[in-house]
Amino acid sequence: MHLSVQTLPFEEPIEETLAFLSGLGVESVDWRCDPDEYLDDPDAQAELLETFADHDIELSMLGATGHNMLHPDEDQAAEADELLRDTIRLAEQLGVETVSAFSGLPGGGPNDETPNWIVSPIPPGEQHEQYEYQWEEVAIPYWNELGAFADDHDVDVALEIHVNMLVNSPPTLVRLREATSERIGAYVDPGHLWLQEIDPVASIRYLAEHDAIMHFETSDVVEYPEQKKLQGTWDMTPLDDRLDRSWAFCAVGYGHGESEWRDIISTLDLVGYDGPVSIQQLNTPQPLHEGVSKSAQFLTDIMFTE
């Protein structure tokens, strides 16, 4: 295992970000970029890789998350699909083995105009039909084709197990992987598991049994019990209104304690995971650089690196 960071929230030039991260002992990054800046441009790619090498940091993954390839609006779906395919092509050209993505979320039927996250069979009715439509008519055909495309470019696609997506749990990730391609695997982030009261340790064991773990990200959440008693987990209070929410994202170690994170890291080691342990600091109240620094120190103390 080694320390990594997701670069999405950094707005400064990449050289400044890499200089900052290098000082924290970061060995690789999950980099979010515009593929158009580098795709099919060997000179730009060489300059980019030299910049990373100058700071002794590798590219462990290219990011294409945040987009919905299964959106019922054809234009939105096509734009997201193009971005993902271009990111896969760029990964091949840069020698990066993994690209991240969301599974996407379809509508509940062929005439829907917006995505539909179906999370309960209650009240009984059309939910199961809609859910199976999402899987059998939209998700599996798309990811079958995309998996073949990724295989043609010798790149894996790590899907973030994420709320408000069709793949939002370890079993749904395995269902998609087994129905499509071994190029499709798991991007595991405890923060989005805790939100759904899914156990990260059990999830790591389960996914490892299916040889499905491709990337491990670290985000943390803190709960506010008094608000949660009234608002529950699916709280639509704006993320920046932290005082009134039932939960909030936070720097690693500020939501769940060292004992819980040690169990997670120990389990990753137990199942033979030897990839990035990447810090994701999004939508947190802590200043970005200080929050990442605190998270890096916390994780460095508990990671196995040999």
Per-residue pLDDT of the chain (306 residues; tens, 9 = 90+): 999 999 999 999 999 999 999 999 999 999 988 999 999 999 999 999 999 999 999 999 999 988 999 999 999 999 999 999 999 999 999 999 999 999 999 999 999 999 999 998 888 878 899 999 999 999 999 999 999 999 999 999 999 999 999 999 999 999 999 999 999 999 999 999 999 999 999 999 999 999 999 999 999 999 999 999 999 988 999 988 888 999 999 999 999 999 999 999 999 999 999 999 999 988 777 889 999 999 999 999 999 877
Residues 6+ apart with CB under 8 A from 65: 100, 101, 102, 160, 162, 187
Total length of the chain: 306
CA–CA–CA angle 172, 299, 272 (5° rounding): 50
Domain extent, residue 155, equals 2-302
CA gap 277, 280 in Å, rounded: 10
Three-state secondary structure along the chain? CEEEEECCCCCCCHHHHHHHHHCCCCCEEEEECCHHHCCCCHHHHHHHHHHHHHCCCEEEEEECCCCCCCCCCHHHHHHHHHHHHHHHHHHHHHCCCEEEECCCCCCCCCCCCCCCCCCCCCCCCCHHHHHHHHHHHHHHHHHHHHHHHHHHCCCEEEEECCCCCCCCCHHHHHHHHHHCCCCEEEEECHHHHHCCCCCHHHHHHHHHHCCCEEEEEECEEEECHHHHHHHCCCCCCCCCCHHHCCEEEECCCCCCCHHHHHHHHHHHHHCCCCCEEEECCCCCCCCHHHHHHHHHHHHHHHCCCC
Is 104 in contact with 80 (CB distance < 8 Å)? yes
Strands 220-223 and 247-250: antiparallel
Is 204 in contact with 268 (CB distance < 8 Å)? yes
Residues 6+ apart with CB under 8 A from 37: 44
Strands 213-218 and 28-32: unpaired
Predicted confidence at residue 239, as pLDDT, reads 87
Predicted confidence at residue 156, as pLDDT, reads 98
Number of domains in the chain: 1
Which residues are paired to 98 by β-bridges?
Answer: 156
For residue 254, give the CATH number of its domain: 3.20.20.150
Per the structure block, which two tokens stand in for 50?
């030299």
The closest of 92, 84, 93 to 145, measured between CA atoms, is: 84
- pTM for this predicted structure: 0.95
CA gap 195, 179 in Å, rounded: 26
